[in-house]
């Protein structure tokens, strides 16, 4: 009998426990991973201590301190330090110590470019990305969430409007008409992954769609026009 393969527990270090860093650290721990949380502030360390594996007061730019914590042995370091200079120094230090994957938070495009040059494997822009998601929600009545995968290519969650209810993926042929793929359908507490072509949309369904931004925008606008399917006048 085949045994279910357990997901490997990974080791993370989150340096900088502001709102962003704390959220990342606590979420990773709740997902079952080992998390070392580091910050200069004793108060911030104490606040998160019960919600991570280890919480330590230390300076993320202090090489001796980071080595003593075994930073080079973790799988991923997340640099959430708000101060630009310190975040750059910390990112550079982590890479020089041999950390295989460093994710760093940037406050601006210039900051992000510098982080990439000093070795960050991935740069994220929390404020910018949240602003984009909020803007998309404000201008679309049926858009629930928006996640940019890469420039010009995203995943969106949209409520199935009346024009789609009662019709199947085969009838709507969304891939041919809009150039997008439906990855899943959320129906109440049920998630239908990779739905079949004969899956019929129901009222209240939430579509998880992936594709180019311009084509996803066409799908967003479907509630403003009648969906054209075979047999419709």
Domain boundaries, the chain: 11-124, 129-224
Element (H, E) at 27: helix 19-30
Q: SS3 breakdown of the chain: % helix, strand, coil, rounded to 5?
A: 40, 25, 35
Whether the pLDDT of residue 157 is over 90: the answer is no
Higher pLDDT, 139 or 201: 201
* Cβ atoms of 16 and 80 closer than 8 Å: yes
* Cβ atoms of 60 and 90 closer than 8 Å: yes
What CATH number should be reported for the domain whose range is 11-124?
Answer: 3.40.50.720
Quote the longest CA-to-CA distance of the chain: 73
Whether the pLDDT of residue 158 is over 90: the answer is no
Mean pLDDT within 154-170: 81
Q: Is the model's pTM score more than 0.85?
A: no
Superfamily of the domain at 129-224: Regulator of K+ conductance, C-terminal domain (3.30.70.1450)
């Amino acid at each position: 009998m085949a045994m279910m393969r357990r997901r490997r527990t990974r080791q993370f270090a989150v340096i900088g426990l502001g709102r962003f860093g704390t959220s990342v650290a606590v979420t990773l721990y709740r997902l079952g991973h080992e998390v070392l949380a580091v910050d200069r502030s004793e108060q911030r360390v104490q606040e998160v201590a019960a919600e991570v594996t280890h919480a330590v007061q230390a300076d993320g730019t202090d090489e001796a301190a980071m080595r003593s914590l075994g930073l080079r042995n973790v799988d991923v370091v997340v640099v959430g330090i708000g101060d630009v200079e310190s975040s750059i120094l910390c990112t550079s230090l982590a890479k020089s110590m041999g950390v295989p994957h460093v994710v760093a938070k940037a406050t601006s495009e210039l900051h992000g470019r510098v982080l990439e040059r000093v070795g960050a494997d991935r740069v994220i822009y929390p404020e910018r990305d949240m602003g984009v998601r909020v803007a998309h929600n404000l201008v679309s009545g049926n858009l629930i969430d928006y996640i940019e995968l890469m420039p010009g290519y995203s995943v969106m969650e949209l409520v199935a409007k009346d024009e789609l209810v009662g019709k199947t993926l085969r009838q709507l042929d969304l891939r041919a008409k809009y150039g997008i793929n439906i990855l899943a359908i959320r129906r109440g507490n049920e998630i239908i992954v990779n739905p079949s072509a004969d899956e019929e949309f129901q009222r209240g369904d939430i579509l998880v769609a992936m594709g180019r931004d311009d084509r996803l925008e066409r799908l967003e606008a479907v509630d403003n026009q009648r969906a054209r399917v075979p047999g419709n006048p």
